[in-house]
Structure 1
Amino acid sequence: MSDLSLDATQLDRYSRHIILDDVGPEGQKRLLEGSALVVGAGGLGAPVIQYLAAAGVGRLGIVDDDVVERSNLQRQVIHRDADVGRPKAESAEEFVTNLNPDIEVEALEARIAPEEARELVADYDVVVDCTDNFPTRYMLNDACQIEGVPLCHGAIYKFEGQITTLSPMGPATAVCSPRRPSPAPCPTVRRRASWACSPAPSAVCRRPRR
């Protein structure tokens, strides 16, 4: 793959990626050909969506069934005051389109049903879990494990955060905690949310093309 795979505008836009030895023009082309599903467009999902779009991940799926509230705006950085009352998925789609015209956005204003999860995740190279409840986290983990899709999981509580990438080639992580937790909300992002996007471009680049 040569520099000619990218047009002049893309070579300029992604130049700070391309000069990195571990990326180069081939890596950037793989990002543009890749896809990521972000589940949740709130405090954690917002900066993840922002950075994945800016990085040039060519197809972004965004799933969220909530609407933008004014109290969201101090941390959910892709939503504006004018977006209050709009579906978060719709607001996020508009943000990505304005940020980077290279990106194809697929927004879903709904909560993922268990019977839909496998088909949905199978259509992407990587899934980023930005949700705030345990049932959805377990459902995404199960679906990604079965379909062989890497899952990036991030969460934060007050001043503590965590992030991990779960490989479908590894053990079924659900067996580490076989007792399913209650459906009460689990810790999610309040600060430093952009950590969660960092493994996702790497997972996209390494994912074999279908």
Structure 2
Amino acid sequence: MSMLDGVSQCWWLSETCVVNWDAWAAIGTVAAVFTAVFAPSFQRMLVRKRANALFALAYRTDLFTAYTNAQALRRMYPFGMGNGAAYAAEGMLLADEAFRAALTADASALEVFISRDVDLTRWQGVDISLAAKVALAIETTRHLHKLYVNLVVSGRDGDAGNYFYVAKHVSELADKHLSDANSAVSRAVKPILGDAQLGP
């Protein structure tokens, strides 16, 4: 006796040997249930990579530009780093209006990225972890931009000490989140672009 006995009692169908349609109906019902339950999950898995790639592509250029600009700002204006270059930059901020104007102009390069937002109602099916990395990069870059604006204002007033104190932490945090988001976006666009892409 084999497992097939439940489906058909013999291999060659004849008048005395017929198909057990109730058994086949049960198998079909089980298959239909599995398809109904798991098909949407499989479909979402197949679509998710493409959705992630399109989402990443939409933010990729602005994100990479913000990352490059934030690193350049950190090198040019090393506030709070506690070294000779930092002390020189801090002194210039307090004493030189042209230095403050240059900082304002350079920091404005971040405005394109910080004007973006992550609206998941427009990006259904995107991984939350990918969207969260991009959203966190935008938010910490906003804090970095606000820091530079506050430094200019307080430097003009001659009292920027509190901002010097937090500048190192804010710039390092923005750098980390921008770097993490750039890495995540670079991985996500691979299904569309492959390895032929710009950025970190």
- Normalised to the residue count of structure 2, the TM-score between the two structures is 0.25
Higher helix content, 1 or 2: 2
- Normalised to the residue count of structure 1, the TM-score between the two structures is 0.24
Higher strand content, 1 or 2: 1
> Which protein shows a greater Rg?
2
